[in-house]
């Protein structure tokens, strides 16, 4: 670490991306080493390491065993909800992955075939992902908190050969059966029915149906896959669906080669973690943070990764993370600001840290949503280690901006994610696509090409990729976030400029929630907005207009509200956390019929909300102001 090291690295990544990334690629074991970094022959579709071949699972598991790490813990599954801690060394992980790959092959999965993984935070989630990578199959992990309709949409898009699930997840002492959800999703889906492989958890014993296969039985009969399949660096490793503004999820496609290179590099150069160290990301494998920093980056680096099946609070209390840090001698931790806010709420003075020796911890990293300065200060004071904000998204797979502590640590400005990471040419643009001056807010954009490890396209939909991300300004990727660069070059992210919701670090689409509400027979139209929330950063609020001149008495309104909340739980999932529904007479719109969600959100959050000149009827907005600013529903 030396002064100027970041600037030197960053400038080189801009001036000589070819040399920079080919050098970074040396940290990966290739079958055929790439001779070229960037393939820019088909803009705006850029590809990295076009002539390289490798296997990601080999890099995450096999090579560490070969290099003498066989007896080092690879995965520690720490599960307060099942009261168990189990460790797999790299050698044991290799055996488990080889067997799981055998199950997939036995059920017809080959290179390029898709496998949906709908699992709680069990070791099998990691094993299944790596097993797919081993045979060149493409995994698509779906967050367990999503309801059947969301799972069905992903099945319809990915067309999986196999779906791996478990009999249940466990949420703060409650057993949540998964099979009814999976069966409903398969039923709803119009795709060919995948083979469903089920991990039987003792907390929920359930007889299987005809087309369902028991994981243990399948493992017993499977031939382990000893060799890793050679794939092109540009072949897809996974699809991860994320929310846009419409109800249809977007399948982010990640490659093998660029992903391995970028993630491996990020662990040492951004996060400052060395091979052999213990790393703990408290998130879920269903989100990108889980993909990148529970599974791939730590394993590609030869670290020990803690897979935690629990919550920051309530499993059993707000000391849960401190216990994990102490018990496993964790060097680096990553989570979402919401998790820290939840701990702070339950234990404002941090007294529960006492008795836990967290002295191995060097750094806490927070991302997934805006890190508010209060939370940053609280965590900094309590843990007495640098607390590092980093900003990125499912699409990019690794930080677009961070304080790169592994290269050089800069003074923290709370609320800023610090500087762009190597390879990211971040510009703030105005509505015409012109870069704005320092301190002026605009659309945070990245000049193409994006660096290795970022999305290649949307699964099966190049047009939507171009329209959704590249069309706003020629030659730039639009992040969907607004923000500014200050005079010192620090990047400040101010929030989404579209209608994407971010609830407790979980990204949700207004469109999915609105579709669920609109399906209720009494609803004529509706809008969902994300409003500020002390704990979850943002929570959804729904405004519904009823059909005809429906006049309901208070009891009927209460019933309707409960039905609408339930609909969202059933169609999107409990994780949407919709609690408040207001029945209103009309929704404010522009003359072209676009609902003014942003203006309503600003009013609800109490920030200045300029009335758009295109508004159809200002009286509608005026009438809503009271509802939007009122602390309880109308
Ligand atoms: N499977 C099934 N249901 C799930 C689920 C999962 N994997 N994850 C959450 N849910 C359910 C919860 O049980 C809850 O249901 P309920 O309304 O019936 O109680 C609902 O979804 C909302 O869950 P959650 O967002 O976890 O809210 P909470 O109030 O239970 O807990 C926090 C609040 C702050 C503790 C929690 O949001 C948290 O741990 N946040 C960390 C954020 C994080 O890791 N984000 C990942 C991106 S980095
Ligand atoms: P996801 O794709 O689920 O990771 O969500 C990405 C979005 O979360 C980004 O576009 C931002 O709006 C928000 N986000 C993630 N990290 C940060 C951060 N450090 N600061 C501010 N917003 C963030």
- What is the CATH number for 84? 3.40.50.12780
What is the pLDDT at residue 609?
86
Task: Classify residue 494: in a domain, yes or no.
Answer: no
- Could you tell me if 477 and 512 lie in one domain? no
The candidate with the shortest Cα–Cα distance to 465, out of 46, 17, 140, is 46
8 A C-beta contact, residue 445 and residue 427: yes
367 CA from centroid of ligand 2 (Å): 7
Please write the tens of the pLDDT for every residue from 537-561. 999 999 999 987 667 788 999 999 9
Please write the tens of the pLDDT for every residue from 37-54. 999 999 999 999 999 999
- Could you tell me if 373 and 313 lie in one domain? yes
What is the pLDDT at residue 50?
98
- Could you tell me if 170 and 201 lie in one domain? yes
- Could you tell me if 440 and 533 lie in one domain? no
User: In this model, does residue 452 exceed pLDDT 60?
Assistant: yes
Please write the tens of the pLDDT for every residue from 461-503. 999 999 999 999 999 999 999 999 999 999 999 999 888 999 9
Indicate the pLDDT class of residue 173, thresholds 50, 70 and 90.
Answer: confident
Task: Classify residue 298: in a domain, yes or no.
Answer: yes
269 CB within 6 A, ligand 2: no
Report the C-alpha gap between 156 and 150 in whole angstroms. 10
User: In this model, does residue 1 exceed pLDDT 80?
Assistant: no
Query: Domain of 534?
Result: 500-629
8 A C-beta contact, residue 96 and residue 127: yes
Assign residue 365 a region (left: φ > 0; alpha: ψ between -120 and 50; beta: otherwise): beta
Query: What is the enclosing helix (H) or strand (E) of 127?
Result: helix 123-134
- Could you tell me if 336 and 271 lie in one domain? yes
175 CB within 6 A, ligand 1: no
Number of domains comprising the chain:
2
User: In this model, does residue 245 exceed pLDDT 90?
Assistant: no
Task: Classify residue 377: in a domain, yes or no.
Answer: yes
575 CA from centroid of ligand 1 (Å): 6
Burial 494-530 (b: 16+ CB within 10 A, else e): ebbbebbbbbbbbbbbbbbbbbbbeebebbebbbbbb
User: 364 — phi, psi (to 5°)?
Assistant: -115, 125
461 CA from centroid of ligand 1 (Å): 31
Average model confidence (pLDDT) for the chain?
96
Domain end point (choices 425, 452, 483): 483
Please write the tens of the pLDDT for every residue from 350-368. 999 999 999 999 999 999 9
Please identify, by atom number, the ligand 2 atom nearest to the C-alpha of residue 394.
2
User: Atom 44 in ligand 1: which residue has the minimum CA distance?
Assistant: 283
- Could you tell me if 516 and 389 lie in one domain? no
Indicate the pLDDT class of residue 612, thresholds 50, 70 and 90.
Answer: confident
Assign residue 453 a region (left: φ > 0; alpha: ψ between -120 and 50; beta: otherwise): left
Indicate the pLDDT class of residue 4, thresholds 50, 70 and 90.
Answer: very high
Ligand nearest to the CA of 336: 1
311 CB within 6 A, ligand 1: yes
Task: Classify residue 178: in a domain, yes or no.
Answer: yes
What is the pLDDT at residue 608?
87
- Could you tell me if 470 and 516 lie in one domain? no
Q: What is the pTM of this model?
A: 0.96
Ligand nearest to the CA of 176: 1
Cis ω for the linkage preceding 44 (within 30 of 0): yes
- Could you tell me if 465 and 537 lie in one domain? no
Task: Classify residue 634: in a domain, yes or no.
Answer: no
Report the C-alpha gap between 573 and 149 in whole angstroms. 9
Domain end point (choices 483, 517, 538): 483
- Could you tell me if 423 and 549 lie in one domain? no
Domain end point (choices 436, 454, 483): 483
Task: Classify residue 48: in a domain, yes or no.
Answer: yes
Handedness of CA 204, 206, 208, 214 (dihedral sign): positive
Please identify, by atom number, the ligand 1 atom nearest to the C-alpha of residue 536.
34
Burial 221-258 (b: 16+ CB within 10 A, else e): ebebbeebbebbbbbbbbbbbbbbbbbbbbbbbbbbbb
Please identify, by atom number, the ligand 1 atom nearest to the C-alpha of residue 120.
7
What is the pLDDT at residue 634?
62
Indicate the pLDDT class of residue 610, thresholds 50, 70 and 90.
Answer: confident
Ligand nearest to the CA of 337: 1
- Please give the structure tokens belonging to residue 82: 């099942």
- Could you tell me if 595 and 465 lie in one domain? no
- Could you tell me if 403 and 524 lie in one domain? no
Residues 308-315, mean pLDDT to the nearest whole number = 97
What is the pLDDT at residue 190?
95
Return the CATH number at 575: 3.30.300.30
Cis ω for the linkage preceding 469 (within 30 of 0): no
Task: Classify residue 492: in a domain, yes or no.
Answer: no
Task: Classify residue 488: in a domain, yes or no.
Answer: no
Residues above pLDDT 90, as percent of the chain: 93
- Could you tell me if 475 and 506 lie in one domain? no
Burial 416-435 (b: 16+ CB within 10 A, else e): bbbbbbbbbbbbbbeeebee
């Amino acid at each position: 670490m030396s002064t100027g090291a970041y600037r030197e690295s960053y400038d080189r990544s801009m001036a000589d991306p070819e040399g920079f990334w080919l050098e970074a690629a040396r940290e990966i074991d290739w079958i055929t080493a790439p001779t070229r970094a960037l393939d820019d022959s088909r803009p705006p579709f850029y590809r990295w390491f076009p002539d390289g071949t490798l296997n990601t699972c080999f890099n995450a598991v096999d090579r560490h065993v070969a290099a003498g790490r066989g007896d080092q813990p690879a995965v520690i599954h720490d599960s307060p909800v099942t009261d168990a801690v189990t460790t797999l060394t790299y050698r044991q992980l290799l055996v488990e992955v080889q067997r799981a790959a055998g199950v997939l092959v036995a059920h017809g999965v080959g290179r390029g075939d898709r496998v949906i993984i709908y699992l709680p935070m069990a070791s099998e989630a990691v094993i299944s992902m790596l097993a797919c990578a081993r045979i060149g199959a493409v995994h698509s992990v779906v967050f367990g908190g999503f309801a059947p309709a969301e799972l069905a949409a992903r099945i319809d898009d990915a067309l999986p050969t196999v779906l791996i699930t478990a009999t249940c997840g466990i949420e703060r002492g409650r057993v949540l059966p998964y099979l009814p959800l999976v069966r409903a999703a398969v039923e709803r889906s119009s795709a060919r029915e995948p083979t469903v492989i089920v991990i039987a958890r003792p907390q929920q014993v359930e007889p299987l149906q005809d087309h369902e296969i028991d994981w243990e039985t399948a493992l017993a009969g499977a031939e382990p896959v000893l060799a890793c399949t050679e794939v092109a660096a540009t072949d897809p490793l996974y699809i991860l669906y994320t929310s846009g503004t419409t109800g249809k999820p977007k399948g982010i496609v990640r490659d093998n080669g660029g992903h391995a290179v970028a993630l491996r590099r990020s662990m040492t150069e951004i996060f400052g973690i060395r091979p052999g160290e213990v790393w703990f990301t408290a998130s879920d494998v269903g989100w990108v943070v889980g993909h990148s920093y529970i599974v791939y980056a730590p394993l590609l680096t030869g670290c020990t990764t803690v897979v935690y099946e629990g919550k920051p609070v309530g499993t059993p209390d707000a000391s849960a993370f401190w216990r994990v840090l102490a018990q496993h001698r964790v060097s680096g931790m990553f989570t979402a600001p919401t998790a820290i806010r939840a701990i702070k709420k339950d234990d404002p003075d941090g007294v529960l840290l006492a008795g836990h020796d967290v002295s191995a911890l060097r750094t806490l990293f927070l991302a997934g949503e805006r890190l508010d300065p209060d939370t940053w200060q609280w965590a900094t004071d309590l843990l007495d280690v640098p607390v590092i904000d980093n900003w990125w998204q499912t699409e990019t797979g690794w930080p677009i901006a961070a304080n790169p502590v592994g290269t050089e640590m800069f003074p923290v400005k709370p609320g800023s994610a610090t500087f762009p990471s190597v390879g990211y040419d971040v510009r703030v643009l105005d509505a015409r696509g012109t870069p704005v001056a320092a301190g002026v807010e605009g659309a945070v954009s990245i000049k193409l090409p994006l660096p290795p490890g970022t999305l290649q396209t949307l699964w099966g939909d190049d047009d939507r990729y171009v329209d959704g991300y590249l069309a706003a300004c020629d030659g730039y990727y639009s992040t969907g976030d607004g923000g500014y660069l200050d005079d010192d070059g620090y990047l400040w992210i101010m929030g989404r400029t579209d209608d994407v919701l971010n609830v407790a670090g979980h990204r949700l689409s207004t469109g999915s929630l609105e579709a669920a509400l609109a399906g209720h027979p009494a609803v004529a139209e509706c809008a969902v907005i994300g409003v500020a929330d002390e704990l979850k950063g943002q929570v959804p609020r729904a405004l519904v207009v009823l059909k005809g001149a429906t006049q309901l008495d208070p009891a009927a309104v209460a019933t309707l509200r409960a039905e609408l909340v339930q609909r969202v739980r059933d169609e999107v999932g409990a994780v949407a956390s919709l609690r408040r529904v207001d029945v209103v007479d009309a929704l404010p719109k522009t003359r072209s019929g676009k609902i003014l969600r942003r203006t309503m959100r600003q009013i609800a959050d109490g920030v200045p909300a300029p009335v758009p000149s295109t508004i159809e009827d200002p009286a509608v907005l005026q009438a809503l102001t009271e509802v939007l600013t009122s602390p309880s529903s109308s």
